[in-house]
Amino acid sequence: MTVLEILNRTKVFFEKKGVPDPLLDAQYIISHGLGMKNRMDLYLSFEKPLTPSELDTLRPLVARRAAREPLQHIIGNTSFRGFCIKCDPRALIPRPETEELVDMAKDSLKTIEQPFIVEIGTGTGAISIASAKEIAGAKILATDISTEALALARENAKENGLESELQFAQGDLLDAVTADIIAQVTGDNAKKIDCLVANLPYIPDGEKGKLQPEVDKFDPALALYGGPDGLNLVRKLLQQTEGKLSSGASIFLEIGSEQAEMLKNEAGNYPWLDFAGIHKDYCGNIRFVSYKAK
């Protein structure tokens, strides 16, 4: 059996199993299983016969994807703004749409030297890693309530050469950002946050069991669900920001599209903040809200 034949058979098999993007996923799985540098190398190897050993390697990988295990878990990583991020069940797989949070943070900090950035609920660490790579002089603290997620984030920081640059802390939202931790990151235990970024769980509890299998079965529930309307943790975080932000500091939050107006209408609950806007992602979908500290 040639590479092209196994590719076509895998595509058809994935289609029957309801796998989204069956051809693309088949390309990724087969190129990964055959040790190719990228999936484009498949096109140079279509006529290559596969050995029994190669087929034995591919079969369990194909079976895992057919069972709707995420492609990123099978391959072991994903790309986030061009940086390689290890993925496994310890944390939510970073989505391409979330990359825009880094752009928003960068734009808000253009005039600030050595800004203090805090990411709440870092998961894999992708947002903080990209921010550390792209925002010159930034002092970054990444937090999570999950010990497993923080272990993964530290591994990703090390793999991206940021083992000493990024600081991590465990705790519930801003409770993790203590004076001692701030001193470790910035050298000043009274330093206030210049930019707060978070992609917190925001799926309503009623959606449990209704999501795609890749999410419902393999992403940690702790990283998905945020209460009856999905906003419990977002509201709690906003309440915690009083007195902890520098004047003019920005907050950028990823939320569900139907939640943006809800948060805008509740802005008066946080009188130390101005509601700064509702923002769309690259696909034109409402995905973010922002605030400014007074």
Average pLDDT (147-170) is 97
User: Could you tell me if 132 and 239 lie in one domain?
Assistant: yes
118 and 253 in contact (C-beta within 8 Å)? no
Average pLDDT (24-49) is 92
73 domain-assigned: no
How many whole angstroms separate alpha carbon 42 and alpha carbon 48?
Answer: 10
CATH code for position 124: 3.40.50.150
User: Could you tell me if 38 and 92 lie in one domain?
Assistant: no
How many whole angstroms separate alpha carbon 157 and alpha carbon 85?
Answer: 9
User: Could you tell me if 266 and 125 lie in one domain?
Assistant: yes
Domain boundary among 18, 41, 67: 67
192 and 116 in contact (C-beta within 8 Å)? yes
How many whole angstroms separate alpha carbon 151 and alpha carbon 88?
Answer: 11
72 domain-assigned: no
User: Could you tell me if 23 and 96 lie in one domain?
Assistant: no
Average pLDDT (112-117) is 96
User: Could you tell me if 40 and 180 lie in one domain?
Assistant: no
**Number of independent structural domains in the chain:** 2
User: Could you tell me if 101 and 240 lie in one domain?
Assistant: yes
76 domain-assigned: no
What is the rounded average pLDDT for all residues in the chain? 96
59 domain-assigned: yes
Above 90 in pLDDT, residue 37? no
How many whole angstroms separate alpha carbon 90 and alpha carbon 124?
Answer: 8
61 domain-assigned: yes
Average pLDDT (170-190) is 96
User: Could you tell me if 61 and 175 lie in one domain?
Assistant: no
Give the chain's length. Answer: 294
Q: Shortest CA distance to 25 belongs to which of 57, 88, 89, 73? A: 73
Cβ atoms within 10 Å, residue 255: 23
pTM for this structure?
A: 0.94
User: Could you tell me if 143 and 207 lie in one domain?
Assistant: yes
User: Could you tell me if 117 and 231 lie in one domain?
Assistant: yes
For residue 127, list its beta bridge partners: none
User: Could you tell me if 233 and 131 lie in one domain?
Assistant: yes
The predicted-structure confidence for 64-109, as pLDDT tens digits, reads as follows: 999 999 999 999 999 999 999 999 999 999 999 999 999 999 999 9
Above 90 in pLDDT, residue 38? no
User: Could you tell me if 208 and 150 lie in one domain?
Assistant: yes
User: Could you tell me if 30 and 145 lie in one domain?
Assistant: no
Q: What is the pLDDT of residue 66?
A: 98
Domain that holds residue 26: 3-67
135: left (phi over 0), alpha (psi -120 to 50) or beta: beta
75 domain-assigned: no
How many whole angstroms separate alpha carbon 2 and alpha carbon 130?
Answer: 39
Residue 191 — φ and ψ, nearest 5°?
A: -60, 135
Q: Which contiguous run of DSSP H or E holds residue 197?
A: strand 193-198
Q: Which contiguous run of DSSP H or E holds residue 277?
A: strand 273-280
